[in-house]
Amino acid sequence: MNTKQSESGSILIVTIFIMMILIGFGVGYLAMTSAQFKQTESSITYQTSLESAWAGLEMAKVTMVNGHDTTIQPWTPTGSVAGALGWDDELQASNTNESTLDLTATPINIGTDTSQFRLVRLINYHGTSFGVWMTDNNDGDGNLLNDSDDLVILDIPAGLMQPVITDPTVDIQHKFHSLFEAIVQYKPPLYEPHNAVVTGGSLQISGNANINGQNGNVYVNGNLTVTNNAIVEDTAYATGTVTVNSPATVGSRQPNSPTFDVPPITPSDYASFADYTLKSDGKIYDQFGVEYAGALGWAFSNGQWDYNSNDAYNYTFYIQVDDPMANKAATAISGSPNNWQVTLISNGSIKVTGTPTMTPKQPGTLMIAGGDISIKGGVSNTFNGVIATHEQIELLGTPNITGSILAEDAVDTHDVVSTGSTFDLSLSGTTNITFNGAVTTILDAGDPYIKIMGIKKIK
């Protein structure tokens, strides 16, 4: 009996021990499963917030393109600057609203709400949210509310819906599951010419015109006619026909070519480049809108500006015509300055009758006109850079151009170049255009975009 009782006790002890081991395994397994579940849940939450943060960055890029100012815009809240370029007004608003930022409040109506910094908004998508706010980079101007280089920093927190954030600089890393910081820059795609001559309409090259150089091509949206003794040393492209009348010659012909995407020529887009603005009131103003007392080589008479000096004042000038449709008097260049480093921008027409030697003040860009451009003169005329006009252009006499010609060929509203003379290189002597490419201009070539210059994950 004692032996049997002893055996039964031993079995009980072993059974209890085995049960305790099994229970321990079970508890451990449950703990491990719970940890794995929490890790998986955390990973899903992080991935979801990460996707939300990227969505915030993409939304910010789209919004910032429309918010960027290439000309001075008013900024009215108390204590703000009188005008803003780049993202100055967004920086002002971001700073103003930083202490009251609430990403869990009623969603801001995208595109219409202006009471807060337009990039700070709540997007609630399946329980996740993100916010975006902007700070200035160290651009060397000593002013955190002045964007002087088109570079800014975006903070993009995202995660599950969180309590109100009253101070994002303190609470940001504790309130969100992920946080990115990106430095971005506004990038207008710039026009880089690859042809010596580009026109938005039909073109006739005649006389003794000579188009040459490594990129001595001509590209025409329309029909191209080359006649008399004219020479196009490289390729002649046209969306329509290419007609060459002997003894004129071209290197090769490419009729029925695809339409060339001619960039729009809008001079007012480049007014901010000007060192001085010449207005229809006969006064000259500096970059800050302050009247300048000197003449800088210019004279004003009967509503028309004329650079009649032989001295070279090396600046970028914007000639602003109040009503270019009514006042069609062209800005005249009747003087003959030598080695004149200048960029001329006018929302009207430009007419050169003197014999200047001109090189561009702004990168690659010599003239931009909202109307016509007419260049007439002798062999001493030398022009370097891109010459661009919204309507028509004519080159007469014997000017030498090292650069590229761009004529948008818009509806003819100015009469500096006669209707029907869409592009005329033949009326007087020889025009020589040499273009070897590798030119960067200030002309916009299409839709701007926001480029990510750098990005890092903070959390």
375-401 tens-digit pLDDT? 886 656 789 999 999 988 888 778 889
Confidence of residue 430 (pLDDT cuts 50, 70, 90): confident
What is the pLDDT, as a whole number, of residue 111?
A: 37
What is the pLDDT, as a whole number, of residue 294?
A: 92
Averaged pLDDT, 116-121: 44
As a whole number, the mean pLDDT across the chain is: 76
Averaged pLDDT, 97-120: 41
What is the pLDDT, as a whole number, of residue 411?
A: 78
Confidence of residue 421 (pLDDT cuts 50, 70, 90): very low
Bridging pattern class, strands 133-136 and 151-160: antiparallel
Q: Is the pLDDT of residue 424 over 60?
A: no
What is the pLDDT, as a whole number, of residue 216?
A: 93
What is the pLDDT, as a whole number, of residue 83?
A: 40
Phi, psi of 373 (to 5 degrees): -130, 130
Distance, in Å, from the CA atom of 327 to the CA atom of 308, rounded to the nearest integer, reads 20
Point out the least confidently predicted range of 13-17, 46-50, 402-406. 46-50
Confidence of residue 235 (pLDDT cuts 50, 70, 90): very high
Averaged pLDDT, 44-50: 63
Confidence of residue 79 (pLDDT cuts 50, 70, 90): very low
Q: 406 and 262 in contact (C-beta within 8 Å)?
A: yes
Residue with tokens 């090292």: 402
Averaged pLDDT, 204-229: 91
What is the pLDDT, as a whole number, of residue 243?
A: 95
Amino acid identity of residue 275, one-letter, is D
Q: Which residues of 268-306 are buried (b: 16+ CB within 10 A; e: fewer)?
A: ebbbebbbbbbbbeeebbeeeeeeeeeeebbebeeebbb
Residue 22: in which H helix or E strand, if any? helix 2-67
- Judge if pTM exceeds 0.85: no
Give tens-digit pLDDT for 81-102. 334 456 676 676 655 544 444 4
What is the pLDDT, as a whole number, of residue 261?
A: 83
Tokens of 399: 């000017």
Confidence of residue 299 (pLDDT cuts 50, 70, 90): very high
**Which residues, in sequence order, are bridge partners of residue 155?**
133, 181
Q: How many alpha carbons fall within 13 Å on the CB side of residue 92? A: 21
